[in-house]
Structure 1
Amino acid sequence: MKSVKHILARKGSNVIAVPATTIVLDVLKLMSEKNIGSVVVTENDEYIGLVTERDYARKIILMGKHSDETTVGEIMSNSFPHITPDSSVDDCMLIMSERNIRYLPVFDKEQNLSGIISINDLVYETIHSQKETIEQLQSYIHST
């Protein structure tokens, strides 16, 4: 069974991070530039949460705030479940489905941030794994 470490090996463990004092508009520009939907929020270079496009929609637009006056620390989410590189793809999909979230921070044994995975990463890994299984079965069938 594939695990999160396979995803991180493929995509890398680099994350885009900003201090909690960063203005939301600047983070939106960064997300657009990098074509990503979440950014790690830090304080003293330590992970404290994620800010996502959903945070922007629900905590800026719907609340009548201004993205050029609000910091990401004010709107970030910090209640994401912690997963490890050994967490299975299936478990992560279940967590995301049950909690209706699109991103999961990955932490090592020392609770240091190892990366971020998205629902898209899980879907890609599942499709890739299924293709490998199909190829193996086809090879087996043709060899008998």
Structure 2
Amino acid sequence: MTTVAELLKLKDEQHRVPHTVRPDQMVFEVITLMAEKNIGAVPVVRDGKVVGIVSERDYVRKMELKGRASVGTPVSEIMTHEVKTVAPGDKVGDCMAIMTNGRLRHLPVVDNGELVGLLSIGDLVKEAIAEQARLIQKMQEYIRGESY
């Protein structure tokens, strides 16, 4: 099964290194960044360490629905503080289980305490489909007597 490190290498260059924000940045800056980059979540980093993550879901639930102003609210007030992370050696299937069980759409990838990537549920689903296609191909070759 594919590892997180292998999956990160498959991502196109513009999405390989995640955009990050600081906890003291204003929410308006973050949603502007997410709109410009067409991304759904941004890890929040302080002193090189992931201290949170802010997503479109956080924005809608903690800002819009409560009528708060994006301009004067720091990210630290709406970010998810307890962030699930994965390591480069973790398997895609394990990441899917974490996302499914936690109802998450994004997983920061941390190596020795440093953020090295960000996986979306779309990344994992795409890889799971590709893995199934490879397995089907191998089974068809076996049935036809083409593999040894």
Structure 2: gaps of 5 or more residues: none
In the other structure, the counterpart of 2:51 is 48
The TM-score normalised by the length of structure 2 is 0.88
**Percent identity for Structure 1 against Structure 2:** 41
How many Å apart are 1:60 and its aligned residue? 0.5
Are the counterparts in 1 of residues 51 and 83 from structure 2 also a CA contact under 8 Å? no
Structure 1: gaps of 5 or more residues: none
Amino acid of the residue matched to residue 25 of structure 2? T
Distance 1:33 1:135 in 2: 39
Q: Does 1:7 align with 2:10?
A: no
Are the counterparts in 2 of residues 19 and 45 from structure 1 also a CA contact under 8 Å? no
- Please show how residues 71-82 of structure 1 align to structure 2 within 5 Å: 71-82=74-85
Moved segments of 4+, more than 3 Å: none
1:9 is paired with a residue whose SS is helix
- Please show how residues 108-119 of structure 1 align to structure 2 within 5 Å: 108=111, 110-119=112-121
Distance 2:67 2:74 in 1: 14
| More displaced 10-residue stretch of structure 1: 75-84 or 123-132 | 75-84
How many Å apart are 1:81 and its aligned residue? 1.9
Distance 1:29 1:96 in 2: 26
2:45 is paired with a residue whose SS is strand
2:144 is paired with a residue whose SS is helix
The TM-score normalised by the length of structure 1 is 0.90
Aligned length: 143
Report the aligned-residue RMSD: 1.6
In the other structure, the counterpart of 1:103 is 106
